[in-house]
Structure 1
Amino acid sequence: MKRVLAIIISVVIGIWLAIALLVFVTQRHLVFPRHLLPPVARMEQLSPEIQEVTVETADGERLYGLWKAPQAGRPVVVSFHGNASAPGWAADRFSTGRWAAHGWGVLAIAYRGYPGSTGSPSETGILADGEAAISFVQKAAPESAILVHGHSLGTGVAVAMAAAHPVIGAYLEAPYASLLSLAKRQFRYLPGFLMRDPMRSDLRVARVTAPVIAIHGKQDPVIPVSSARELIGKATSNSRLIEVDGDHVSILGEADGEVEDFFRRAVAP
């Protein structure tokens, strides 16, 4: 009986170790599924005012970017996309409608390793990409204030940039407290140290002194609204979370009117 029990325990441990190894080795394909994306969209699908640009990082990568210059003295949205997305939708969105009517510029980049960009993604890498995006705007439009924006994975980059730079604010759609906490929900029996890219927005957001406005769908099946509540609960007192009926994608743009008006007034002379 003891021998049988020992064999069972060994098999269980072996299966657990195999799963842990598989998750550790493949996790960046899960967190950054850029291999599922089509080749980069070409310019004929976007506004003629948007330019394709190359954003160079400090460690030598070349990022595909979409840039629309702001009107003189107007702010710029620097947008960071989700893990299975690309910059085209954000560039188009922030270069039209009320954003265009009030002179906003926009820069949206593709992270390293994503279509159009060199390199391979990681937390350290995409944060370096964020730094490169901020630097690009500071050089291209030195008189313009910056509003960082992110969706899903990109909210972690936006929070990190807002914590490190004097931005006018952060606009977050479907944010999370950390990728580590999300991973623990999916892999309850695996230790947290296996997570190579924890993206601890919950530790960074307290260093953001500018307002943070977040929107989250109550029916989001990817990132629970409780994660967004945890994040905003650690932000400055002038930050807020807008909870709406919707999922991970349907909420995109739902708060644009309120957010654009708020931050435009914040930089009005």
Structure 2
Amino acid sequence: MRLRSIIGTTAFLAAMYFCAGIYVLRFHLEPLLVPRADAPTLPSIPPLQSIGGHEETLLVRRYGVPRVGCVLFFPGQHGSIPGYDTQLFPAFTGHGIAVLAVAYPGQDGAPGALDLKQMRALGMRTLAAASAICGEHRVIVYGRSLGSMVAAYSVASHQPAGLILEGTTPSLASAIRLRLRVHWYLAPLAALPVSTLLAHDFSLKEALSQTPLKQAVAFQGTADSETPLSALRITPGLEKLRIVEVRGGTHSTTYRLAEHQMVEMAESMLR
């Protein structure tokens, strides 16, 4: 009887564990993907434009003067524009390429909360606004980490000068699986059919198949364990995407190591 009770309790707890994982993946993913972040210091540049409504708003801030063109920048899940404005943006603005930096709902002064169902439409509207500022063919869309997926989908209805992805992943499901495996207490959840549990599994293959854009480049660090280079290499359907290996680049250092290359790529796309 005691053994039967232990087995029954263990089975019940395991079922509850997996049910909780299924519920979060299906209905409560947004707060984990893009957590609210009240930065200790907001960006010093005031918002140039807001996209969306009160419940979900993207803010766009401009850095530099668009003498050559513009880069529309979608950051990773934690935003942190105040860090990029000193580490990354000067590399572009110093070459006459203005940076239009996006802040997600709930981050860097943007009100509201993220709704994945609205993110694709908001990304397209943001690109339309950038095109109105700089000219459609003078805009390069740049997305890093989670922002690379938003960037890839935003170009579906427009034809910017090019698309630069950095620290990207083949799909939302593949990124989630990898994150789950990193933590021992979450690793069993990676066995779930993540792609079918998500309300929509955003993927580079789907995004790039919807655009006639010809210049799409991904800068991927060889030491990136969060979005591994190998995952891109083995994913079919990414023939449009040129992959540039960044030697020694981790998920947090690739953009610094590839800064010069990315600026050169942007200048080439704008010619």
* TM-score normalized by the length of structure 2: 0.80
**Would you say the 8 A contact 1:67–1:91 is kept in 2?**
no
Q: Provide the residue aligned with 1:46 in structure 2.
A: none
**Would you say the 8 A contact 2:249–2:257 is kept in 1?**
no
**Would you say the 8 A contact 2:79–2:104 is kept in 1?**
no
Match of 2:190 among 188, 191, 194: 188
**Would you say the 8 A contact 1:61–1:118 is kept in 2?**
yes
Q: Provide the residue aligned with 2:52 in structure 1.
A: 57
For residue 4 of structure 1, what is the amino acid of its counterpart? R
Match of 1:76 among 40, 46, 70: 70
Q: For 1:132-181, what per-residue CA distance to the aligned partner results, in whole angstroms no more than 9, with x for missing partners?
A: 32122222233761101011000001111233320111111100001112
Moved more, 184-193 or 143-152: 184-193
Q: Are 2:231 and 1:227 equivalent residues in the alignment?
A: yes
Identity among equivalent positions (%) equals: 21
Aligned positions of 1:11-160 closer than 5 A: 11=12, 12-22=14-24, 24=26, 26-35=28-37, 37-39=38-40, 41-43=42-44, 51-57=46-52, 61-68=56-63, 70-72=65-67, 74-93=68-87, 95-97=89-91, 99-142=92-135, 145-160=138-153
**Would you say the 8 A contact 1:150–1:156 is kept in 2?**
yes
Moved more, 77-86 or 155-164: 155-164
Shift of residue 122, structure 1, vs aligned partner: 2.8
Residue 244 of structure 2 aligns to a residue in which SS?
Answer: strand
Q: For 1:168-205, what per-residue CA distance to the aligned partner results, in whole angstroms no more than 9, with x for missing partners?
A: 11111100001112223423232323324532223212
Q: For 1:88-116, what per-residue CA distance to the aligned partner results, in whole angstroms no more than 9, with x for missing partners?
A: 3444456424x234311110011122231
Q: Return 5+ residue gaps in structure 2 as ranges.
A: 181-188
Shift of residue 30, structure 1, vs aligned partner: 1.9
Task: Give the alignment's Cα RMSD to 1 decimal.
Answer: 3.0
Residue 257 of structure 2 aligns to a residue in which SS?
Answer: coil
Residue 77 of structure 2 aligns to a residue in which SS?
Answer: coil
Moved more, 164-173 or 116-125: 116-125
Q: Provide the residue aligned with 1:247 in structure 2.
A: 250
Q: Return 5+ residue gaps in structure 1 as ranges.
A: 44-49
Q: Provide the residue aligned with 2:184 in structure 1.
A: none
| 1:14 to 1:39, Cα distance in 2 relative to 1, 3 A | same
* TM-score normalized by the length of structure 1: 0.80
Residue 34 of structure 1 aligns to a residue in which SS?
Answer: coil
User: How many residues are aligned here?
Assistant: 257
**Would you say the 8 A contact 1:67–1:107 is kept in 2?**
yes
